[in-house]
Amino acid sequence: MFSVRFTTAFILATGNSGVKVGHLLSGVVSWAFGTLFAYVLNGAMDVAEDRLNGSGRPVARGALTPETALRAAWLCAGIAVLVSLDSPSVLGLLLAYLFCGFAYSAPPFNMTRRSHSTMATILLLGGLTYAAGWAATDGRRDTVSAIVFAIAMSAWMGLVGAVVKDLSDVRGDAAAGRRTSVVAWGERRARLVCAVSPVLVGGGFLAAALLVAPVLTVSAVLVLAGGLTVAYFSLTTRSDERRSRSRLPYRAFMVTQYVAHLALLVIVLT
């Protein structure tokens, strides 16, 4: 998903002509390895919570030891830096991205221990990704649309995804002493927030698209539809249900991201 975000920002900057494939590929590869660093590091740090929550991630299910995962994470970080050396602007953003990925899971920062710090970190991870995709190209087109899309979809990540992901992980998060949204606010209040915030983000995105960035209208409509779906699942599921059902709000959040980005790519490239 982070590679799709990077690519979308890159294409918005270049339009449907003048795409420098080499710049795009090197940027996508470096960002993919940077994302792997954050993901694998998080899996190694959260193994106890993941097992309590029934997660199928590699470390939690025993496919990787935490030590192997940590070595793999740092290898991914090194590859990401090496691949981005030819673009100083992307490299600077990548280093900030790697730091955020480290701070998200690892001591002394452990940003996932509080709902507000989790949301802030995820907002930064999203914003840095769109900025890097924009910086990877020499050309600059449709700046307003790129800014609106980056803000809207970063908000979708930080204000929606960062909260709905907690709905299915209450047991492990509470056992680990985390003050996530559900643990801190209670499940009923957290689910109400998860019903309201995606609709507000989707509605705000659609209003901005109609006012200043018409090319984003289709994506904004899809995000609003996804927001209504997330809201529905947030209000009709419970954390103590089987994981395939309790994860429905988060899955709706993820599907919405993909369709919004892919729809925009199709529109810009055709």
* Domain edge (last residue) among 141, 160, 177: 141
Q: Are residues 121 and 22 in the same domain?
A: yes
Cα–Cα distance measured from residue 235 to residue 152, given in angstroms and rounded to the nearest whole number: 23
Name the nearest CA neighbour of 2 among 153, 201, 226. 153
Q: Do 12 and 109 sit in the same domain of this protein?
A: yes
Q: Residue 191's closest CA among 154, 241, 150, 149?
A: 241
Residue range(s) defining the domain that contains residue 249: 143-270
Q: Name the least confident of 54-68, 184-198, 220-234.
A: 54-68
3-state secondary structure of 64: coil
Radius of gyration of the chain (CA): 18
The predicted model gives 32-42 an average pLDDT of: 95
What's the mean pLDDT in 188-197? Answer: 93
The number of beta carbons lying within 10 Å of the beta carbon of residue 235 is: 12
> Domain holding 89: CATH number?
1.10.357.140
Least confident span in 27-36, 168-177, 226-235 = 168-177
What are 118-139's pLDDT values in tens digits?
A: 899 999 999 999 999 998 886 6
CA dihedral 144, 148, 151, 153 (to 10 degrees): -130
Higher pLDDT, 11 or 223: 223
Same structural domain for residues 147 and 246? Answer: yes
43/137 same-domain check:
yes
Domain final position from 121, 141, 161? 141
Measure Cα distances from 71 to 49, 145, 223 in Å.
21, 39, 37
Per-residue pLDDT at 73: 96
Burial 149-164 (b: 16+ CB within 10 A, else e): bbbbbbbbbbbbbbbb
Calculate the dihedral angle through the C-alpha atoms of 186, 244, 2, 200, rounding to the nearest 10 degrees.
-50
DSSP labels, 125-148? HHHHHHHHHHHTSS----HHHHHH
What is the per-residue pLDDT for 31?
96
Residue 171 is predicted with a pLDDT of: 67
Question: pLDDT tens digits for 72-111?
Answer: 999 999 999 999 998 898 999 999 999 999 999 999 998 9
DSSP string of 231-246? Answer: HHHHHH--TTS-HHHH
Angle of helix 217-236 relative to helix 143-155, nearest 10 degrees, comes to 0
Q: Are residues 157 and 45 in the same domain?
A: no
Let me know whether 134 and 7 are in one domain: yes
Euclidean distance between CA atoms 107 and 122, whole angstroms: 17
Distances, alpha carbon 238 to alpha carbons 76, 168, 172, in Å = 36, 8, 15
Top mean-pLDDT range of 96-100, 131-135, 179-183, 191-195: 96-100
| Count of domains forming the chain | 2
Q: Which pair of structure tokens corresponds to residue 129?
A: 């990704």
Name the average pLDDT for the chain. 90
Do 155 and 42 fall into the same domain? no
Residue 139, pLDDT score? 60
Q: Report the predicted TM-score, pTM, of the whole model to 2 decimal places.
A: 0.91
Q: Which of 126, 141, 156 is the last residue of a domain?
A: 141
